């Protein structure tokens, strides 16, 4: 991709909206060019191909959220609190940003190898590795923090996706569609050896 400049950034923003609404197959480079007011060759000049543009959109969206999530690992507090804040920030963003949730769904469904590798490297690996180290300190006898943090994030993603339809599945599920409730529930399941009582009453 050519060096990012104002025009490339405009294309990326418009493509984010288009792909979020239409998906990869439904989005048209012609429509994108018309929306931005550029020629089709201009888009290919900056991004090379439709697939590369889509991958860049995903990496950009996930990178934006990664920075906010990872910041929680640096806040004051003990390891238990930092891990709670980290998972809570992921749950909150998935619940509040439909575009973020939609792209996460599409990447999981498509299993696009190039895209998954790109946004894993740019958006997840560093923060998840650090969170995994916290997990290992919380459960030093297990030393499987890296795996458990991925499972915890996957559970949060699944709960957010499923419980959005909770009112149609069972009325009792509605109270679970809450970022704090989901976060504490997942952490209690993944780390039963840690006392999580009161962690959600701290200031976040």
Tens digit of pLDDT for each residue in 151-188? 998 899 989 988 887 767 787 787 778 999 999 999 99
Domain end call among 48, 71, 86 = 48
What pTM was estimated for this model as a whole? 0.80
HSE (CB half, 13 Å, CA atoms) of 198?
1
Domains in the chain, number: 2
Same domain, 130 and 197: yes
Same domain, 7 and 61: no
- Domain at 11, CATH number: 1.10.10.60
What's the mean pLDDT in 46-63? 87
Same domain, 31 and 105: no
In the chain, the percentage of residues whose pLDDT exceeds 70 is 88
Domain that holds residue 6: 1-48
Residue 98 CB burial class (10 angstroms; 0-12, 13-18, ≥19): exposed
Residue 130 has pLDDT above 80, yes or no: yes
Same domain, 90 and 133: yes
Look at residues 16, 14, 60, 58 and name the one whose alpha carbon lies nearest to residue 34.
14
């Amino acid at each position: 991709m050519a060096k990012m400049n104002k025009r490339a950034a405009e294309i990326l923003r418009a493509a984010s909206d288009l792909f979020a609404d239409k998906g990869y197959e439904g989005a048209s480079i012609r429509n994108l060019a018309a929306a931005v007011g550029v020629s089709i060759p201009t888009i290919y000049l900056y991004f090379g191909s439709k697939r590369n543009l889509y991958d860049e959109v995903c990496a950009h969206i996930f990178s934006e959220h990664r920075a906010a999530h990872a910041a929680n690992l640096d806040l004051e507090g003990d390891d238990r609190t930092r891990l709670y804040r980290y998972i809570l920030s992921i749950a909150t963003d998935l619940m509040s940003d439909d575009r973020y949730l939609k792209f996460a769904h599409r990447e999981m469904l498509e299993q696009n190898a190039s895209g998954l590798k790109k946004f894993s490297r740019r958006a997840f690996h560093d923060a998840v590795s650090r969170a995994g180290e916290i997990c290992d300190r919380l459960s030093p006898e297990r030393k499987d923090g890296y795996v458990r943090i991925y499972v915890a994030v996957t559970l949060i993603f699944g709960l957010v996706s499923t419980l959005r339809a909770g009112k149609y599945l069972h009325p009792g599920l509605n109270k679970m569609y809450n970022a704090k409730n989901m976060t504490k529930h997942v952490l209690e399941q993944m780390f039963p050896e840690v006392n999580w009582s009161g962690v959600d009453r701290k200031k976040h």
